[in-house]
């Protein structure tokens, strides 16, 4: 069995999905409720959604919104995390604020943000940025704190200035930890993106899902949940491939180490 798994690494996830579908099908027949469609009916709904140009456009719009919010969060969070990791004063000032903000569900802020920015893209992007930023900040700060001072002393002794130490020592050493935070951030970006679209319903995958729920189209609701889940799995797998290529020199993505020279 182990040899088969090694030859076919995608087999265990496939078997797990098939088992889940069978359990779903059995539960739907046992429950016999209108709000719980069977798995086969839901799967048959997938080609109808993915074959509809408007639905595909809405999903693409959601992905664009998600990517934009993630990119903004990355640009803001990584420098902020590095500063917190290397400066005790910055950490002392900002840590209490982030500790207060971290447990607050970002979707709960959506009605307040809508009062400020309306129901357009700006409010949704802000919610995504808020949801993604904190994990990246914390992991960036943890990576910056884990850098050995000897590395920085050696770089300074070799004549490297602050910019050189940042780009050639600090960033490569912190990159594995930053990518761990980014991996968590991708999942949170997907969650906050769908949630924001369900609250501020104009377009996007979340709007399709909630509109179908309003009209009691439960097969569409469950089919959209499957599509969103598949998007999350695909994005996570693609990011893991990217992480392995960028930090192939690291034995463990959770360890902070400098790349070989």
Q: How far apart (Å, rounded) are the C-alpha atoms in residues 258 and 261?
A: 9
Q: What is the pLDDT of residues 157-174, one digit of tens each?
A: 887 777 777 777 777 888
Is 257 among the domain residues?
A: no
Tally of domains in the chain: 1
Contact 184, 131 (CB under 8 A): no
Q: What is the pLDDT of residues 111-135, one digit of tens each?
A: 888 888 887 888 889 999 998 999 9
**Is the model's pLDDT at 14 over the cut of 70?**
yes
Is 153 among the domain residues?
A: yes
Is 187 among the domain residues?
A: yes
Which structural domain range is residue 59 located in?
A: 37-246
Is 259 among the domain residues?
A: no
The CATH number covering residue 67 comes to 1.10.3720.10
**Is the model's pLDDT at 86 over the cut of 50?**
yes
Is 151 among the domain residues?
A: yes
Q: Would you state the pLDDT for residue 245?
A: 84
Is 2 among the domain residues?
A: no
The residue ranking higher by pLDDT, 113 or 60, is 60
260 band by pLDDT with thresholds 50, 70 and 90: very low
Q: How far apart (Å, rounded) are the C-alpha atoms in residues 198 and 213?
A: 11
Q: Would you state the pLDDT for residue 60?
A: 93
DSSP output for 120-150: SHHHHHHHHHHHHHHHHHHHHHHHHHTS-HH
Is 216 among the domain residues?
A: yes
Is 224 among the domain residues?
A: yes
What mean pLDDT is predicted for residues 47-76? 92
Q: What is the pLDDT of residues 179-204, one digit of tens each?
A: 999 999 999 999 999 988 888 777 88
Q: How far apart (Å, rounded) are the C-alpha atoms in residues 239 and 77?
A: 18
């Amino acid at each position: 069995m182990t040899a088969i798994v090694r030859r076919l690494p995608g087999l265990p996830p496939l078997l797990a999905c098939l088992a889940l579908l069978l359990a779903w099908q059995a539960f739907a027949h046992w429950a016999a409720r209108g709000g719980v469609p069977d798995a086969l009916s839901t799967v048959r709904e997938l080609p109808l959604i993915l074959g509809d140009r408007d639905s595909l456009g809405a999903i693409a719009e959601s992905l664009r919104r998600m990517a934009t919010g993630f990119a903004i969060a990355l640009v803001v969070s990584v420098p902020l995390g590095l500063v917190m990791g290397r400066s005790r004063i910055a950490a002392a000032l900002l840590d209490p604020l982030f500790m207060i903000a971290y447990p607050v569900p970002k979707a709960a802020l959506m009605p307040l943000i809508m009062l400020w920015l309306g129901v357009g893209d700006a409010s949704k992007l802000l919610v995504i940025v808020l949801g993604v930023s904190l994990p990246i900040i914390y992991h960036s700060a943890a990576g910056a704190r884990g850098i050995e001072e000897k590395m920085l002393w050696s770089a300074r002794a070799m004549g490297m200035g602050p910019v050189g130490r940042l780009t050639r020592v600090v960033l490569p050493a912190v990159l594995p930890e930053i990518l761990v935070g980014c991996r968590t951030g991708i999942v949170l970006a997907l969650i906050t993106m769908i949630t924001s679209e369900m609250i501020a319903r104009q377009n996007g995958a979340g709007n399709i899902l909630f509109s179908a729920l309003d009209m009691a189209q439960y097969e569409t609701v469950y089919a959209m949940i499957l599509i969103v889940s598949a998007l999350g799995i695909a994005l996570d797998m693609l990011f893991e491939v990217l992480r392995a290529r960028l930090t192939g020199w690291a034995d463990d993505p959770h360890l902070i180490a400098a790349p070989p020279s």
